[in-house]
């Protein structure tokens, strides 16, 4: 039963990292689009699927709260201000994204852009710190992760935008060495082997992504950055389950999750299918 | 009560109240939009475009409100771990269930469907698009049920037992079927309909005050929306009170005694509690509890009178009086914020009235509070309270601003240029 809990949390956390992470990364990259039309087109590029992707974060949080309540409690106590920053960053990113197009004023748009990009940056950095806390890292592990996650997510977001937009951004240099080292340091709390594995896998995935981008193969490039974005979860995945999953809650919630999974995945796939075309013009946002 | 505990409670109170300010409008407006869009799609084809324009106009208000509401929701989800870890410690096995099911079932589907509804306006067949909106409304109500099951557990635990300091689930059906939670559901549903109706009627009335600045078809749109909002308001005003009264019987004794101001009963409850649980203060702040209940009921009185007055006028003088009389417009505009004050009173009554218990007669609020440092606590309190207050203000500024424009100036569902090849390249 403990395995089921781990699989479920892992599944939704992976989804959250790949999908919601792409939206955070894309938000980080909006600054690269100059001119209001281009920027609004970029927002439409990732904004249409943003709502569908956010749900993965909520589902992960709810499952961690249900299955690993004790571990969550101890993590939240230690990482308290970083959890608050994480939420504030996410709040700001969402506010900037959804409110930007509602008022036709340059000042308003500037403010919303700052909220959008700044919020995404705060979210990514705080997420890195929280992951380091989760794997029991020292202060320098947290610092390394705080630097690494925004860079990593930005690359993932860039690859995502290259796929979603008719006129996507130029490929971003993957920096596999820098990110590999930073992620290894960030994962150090989980022990030498796990940390090394994290860094190596991330570096490998990023190298692949670079190569695919050079060959103009956008979808494989995105798949590679997606794999890279999953690696920081490894040290946390190793550390959290050591606390054990709450027994009584696994039955009702686990069953619900397993039953709902086909419906949830169908709804997601339907959304991706409907919005499969590349975006070339602004939309509601 | 220590400063720390007060800060924790205030933070939760402000964020929960802030979150609910968004939710109450989302719930009611989703139902109204469903009915409006269904009528547009299934009704006479020549009227469809005009009716869909109204759906787009109010739909954009719905989205402005929803987008900010989601993030406030996630803050709530994580606040249980941040502010009340003792709750997870003692009742984690049980309390986490309805919250997790809400996130997995209701919210996951609702948010995905909403993305489809907003951005798929011209790509999805009208019937399917309407069905998606129905899905959104139904999943929103499902959320209400799950959240109230969780809250009902706090008010009056059922289907559980305490074992070695941990609360264990005994009967899932008793836990989920707890009347303390479920009886509140129709009250919430009609309350949200009341709020949405009042807002739609009020904002439409504001537009009709300047009908000379609007084209005839725009005037017709707002007259129609006024009808929708006013009908919803009148339909909901009695049931919300009726379902509210059903709850008087299942209130905690201390809450009921506080509302009645029955000092003798309160003293008896306190003495009984000391005998059962040891020394301590087992009474809620009676003044606040009674005050909140009076606020809620007073607001309802105002709304009932307003509804009765307006409805009688319409029945005697005809619908035109709704659309043209200045005093009617002023009445509807003034009544629009009243439901929001009422729901605040209601929630304060419900939640402050169960203090000092976080789980009635099992766990005190004080024992469930986090041991985070004072600095951390102050930081989160100031940060969340400020940001939530700001969001509520921005939300209403945008909504009112949007509601004063021409219906044609709506971004939602406006025609977009065709797109190019698939991303599966």
pLDDT digits (tens, 9 = 90+) for B286-313: 999 999 999 999 999 999 999 999 999 9
Out of A73, A81, A281, the one facing B88 most closely (by C-beta) is A73
For the stretch B111-144, pLDDT in tens is 889 989 998 888 889 999 999 999 999 999 999 9
Contact status of A276 with chain B (Cβ, < 8 Å): yes
Query: Which of chain B's residues have a Cβ under 8 Å away from the Cβ of A84?
Result: 82, 376, 379-380, 383-384
Q: How far apart are CA B271 and CA B265, in angstroms?
A: 10
Confidence at B423, pLDDT banded by 50, 70, 90: very low
pLDDT at B417 over 80: no
Out of B172, B398, B420, the one facing A277 most closely (by C-beta) is B420
- What's the Cα-to-Cα distance from B129 to each of B101, B118, B122, B140, B280, rounded to whole Å? 26, 10, 9, 17, 57
Interface test with A, best of B15, B64, B74, B415 (most A CBs within 10 A): B74
Q: How far apart are CA B360 and CA A213, in angstroms?
A: 59
Q: How far apart are CA B400 and CA B405, in angstroms?
A: 9
Tokens (6 digits) for B227: 């009808």
pLDDT at B329 over 80: yes
Contact status of A284 with chain B (Cβ, < 8 Å): yes
Contact status of B8 with chain A (Cβ, < 8 Å): no
**Predicted pLDDT at B165:** 86
**Predicted pLDDT at B422:** 37
Out of A63, A65, A283, the one facing B81 most closely (by C-beta) is A65
Out of B101, B111, B425, the one facing A256 most closely (by C-beta) is B101
Closest of B86, B87, B106, B84 to residue B95, by C-alpha: B87
Per-residue pLDDT 10s for chain A (285 aa) are: 678 888 999 999 999 999 999 999 999 999 999 999 999 999 999 999 998 898 898 889 888 888 888 888 888 889 999 999 999 999 999 999 999 988 889 999 999 999 999 999 999 999 999 999 999 889 999 999 999 999 999 999 999 999 999 988 999 998 999 999 999 999 999 999 999 999 999 999 999 999 999 999 999 999 999 999 999 999 988 887 666 666 677 788 888 888 989 988 998 898 899 889 899 888 888
Query: How many C-beta atoms surround the C-beta of residue B113 within 10 A?
Result: 26
Contact B55, B37 (CB under 8 A): yes
Closest of B154, B99, B88 to residue A256, by C-alpha: B99
Contact A260, A253 (CB under 8 A): no
- Is there a contact between B379 and A84 if contact means CB atoms under 8 Å apart? yes
Query: Which of chain B's residues have a Cβ under 8 Å away from the Cβ of A55?
Result: 103, 107-108, 111-112
- Is there a contact between A57 and B120 if contact means CB atoms under 8 Å apart? no
Q: How far apart are CA B262 and CA A202, in angstroms?
A: 67
Q: How far apart are CA B121 and CA B133, in angstroms?
A: 11
Distance (Å) from the alpha carbon of B327 to chain A's nearest alpha carbon: 31
Distance (Å) from the alpha carbon of B224 to chain A's nearest alpha carbon: 25
Helix (H, G, I), strand (E, B), or coil: what is residue B160? strand
- Is there a contact between A248 and B169 if contact means CB atoms under 8 Å apart? yes
Helix pair angle (A2-15, A36-67), 10° resolution: 170
Residue B109 CB burial class (10 angstroms; 0-12, 13-18, ≥19): buried
ipTM of the complex: 0.85
Choose between B416 and A251: higher pLDDT.
A251
Contact status of A242 with chain B (Cβ, < 8 Å): no
Q: Which of residues 73-112 of A touch B (CB under 8 A)?
A: 73, 76-77, 80-81, 83-84, 87-88, 90-91, 94-95, 97-99, 101-103
pLDDT at B281 over 60: yes
Rounded to two decimals, what is the model's pTM?
Answer: 0.90
Closest of A135, A123, A95, A98 to residue A24, by C-alpha: A123
**Predicted pLDDT at A143:** 96
pLDDT at B419 over 70: no
- Is there a contact between B94 and A65 if contact means CB atoms under 8 Å apart? no
Q: How far apart are CA B108 and CA A64, in angstroms?
A: 16
């Amino acid at each position: 039963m403990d395995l089921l809990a781990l699989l479920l949390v892992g599944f939704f956390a992976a989804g959250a990292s790949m999908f919601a992470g792409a939206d955070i990364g894309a938000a980080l990259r909006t600054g690269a689009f100059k001119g209001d039309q281009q920027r609004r087109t970029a927002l439409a590029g990732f904004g249409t699927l943003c709502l569908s992707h956010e749900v993965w974060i909520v589902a992960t949080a709810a499952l961690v709260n249900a299955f690993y309540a004790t571990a969550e409690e101890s993590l939240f106590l230690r990482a308290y201000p970083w959890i608050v920053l994480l939420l504030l960053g996410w709040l700001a990113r969402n506010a900037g994204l959804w409110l930007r197009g509602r008022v036709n004023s340059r000042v308003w748009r500037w403010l919303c852009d700052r909220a959008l990009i700044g919020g995404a940056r705060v979210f990514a950095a705080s997420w890195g710190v929280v992951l380091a806390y989760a794997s029991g890292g020292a202060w320098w592990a947290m610092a390394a992760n705080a630097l690494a996650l925004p860079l990593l997510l930005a690359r993932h977001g860039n690859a995502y935008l290259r796929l979603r937009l008719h006129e996507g951004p130029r490929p971003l240099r993957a920096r596999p060495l820098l990110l590999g080292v930073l992620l290894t340091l960030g994962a150090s709390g989980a022990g030498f082997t796990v940390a090394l594995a994290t860094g190596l896998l991330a570096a490998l995935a990023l190298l692949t992504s670079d190569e695919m981008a050079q060959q103009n193969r956008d979808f494989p490039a995105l798949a590679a950055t997606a794999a890279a974005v999953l690696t920081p979860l490894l040290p946390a995945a190793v550390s959290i389950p050591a606390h054990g999953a709450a027994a009584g809650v696994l039955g009702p919630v686990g069953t619900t999750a397993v039953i709902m999974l086909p419906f949830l995945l169908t709804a997601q796939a339907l959304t991706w299918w409907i919005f499969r075309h590349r975006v070339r013009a602004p939309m509601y946002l | 009560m220590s400063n720390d505990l007060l800060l924790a409670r205030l933070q939760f109170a402000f964020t929960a109240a802030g979150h609910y300010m968004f939710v109450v409008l989302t719930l009611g407006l989703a139902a109204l939009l469903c009915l409006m869009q269904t009528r547009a799609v299934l009704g006479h084809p020549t009227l469809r475009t005009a009716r869909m324009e109204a759906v787009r106009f109010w739909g954009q208000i719905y989205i402005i409100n929803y987008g900010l509401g989601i993030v406030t929701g996630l803050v709530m989800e994580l606040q249980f771990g941040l502010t009340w870890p003792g709750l997870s410690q003692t009742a984690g096995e049980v309390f986490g269930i309805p919250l997790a099911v809400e996130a997995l079932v209701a919210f996951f589907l609702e948010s995905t469907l909403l993305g489809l509804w907003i951005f798929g306006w011209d790509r999805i067949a009208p019937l399917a698009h309407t069905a998606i909106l129905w899905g959104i409304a139904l999943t929103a109500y499902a959320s209400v049920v799950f959240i109230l099951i969780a809250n009902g557990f706090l008010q009056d635990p059922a289907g559980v037992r305490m074992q070695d300091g941990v609360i264990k689930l005994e009967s899932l059906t008793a836990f989920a079927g707890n009347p303390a939670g479920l009886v509140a559901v129709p009250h919430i549903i009609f309350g949200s309909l009341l709020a949405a109706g009042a807002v739609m009627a009020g904002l439409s009335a504001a537009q009709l005050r300047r009908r000379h600045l609007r084209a005839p078809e725009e005037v017709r749109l707002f007259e129609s929306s006024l009808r929708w909002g006013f009908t919803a308001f009148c339909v909901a005003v009695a049931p919300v009170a009726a379902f509210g009264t059903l709850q008087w019987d299942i209130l905690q004794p201390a809450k009921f005694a506080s509302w009645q101001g029955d000092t003798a009963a309160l003293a008896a409850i306190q003495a009984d509690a000391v005998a059962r649980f040891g020394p301590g203060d087992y009474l809620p702040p009676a003044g606040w509890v009674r005050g909140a209940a009076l606020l809620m009921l007073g607001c309802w009185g105002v709304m009932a009178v307003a509804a009765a007055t307006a409805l009688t006028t319409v029945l005697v003088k005809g619908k035109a009086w709704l659309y043209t009389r200045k005093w009617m417009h002023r009445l509807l505009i003034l009544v629009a914020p009243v439901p929001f004050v009422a729901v605040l009173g209601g929630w304060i009554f419900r939640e402050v009235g169960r203090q000092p218990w976080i789980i009635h007669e099992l766990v005190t609020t004080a024992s469930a509070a986090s041991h985070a440092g004072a600095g951390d606590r102050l930081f989160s309190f100031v940060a969340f309270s400020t940001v939530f207050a700001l969001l509520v203000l921005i939300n209403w500024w945008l909504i009112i601003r949007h509601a004063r424009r021409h219906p044609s100036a709506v971004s939602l569902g406006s025609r977009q240029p065709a797109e190019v090849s698939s991303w599966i390249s």
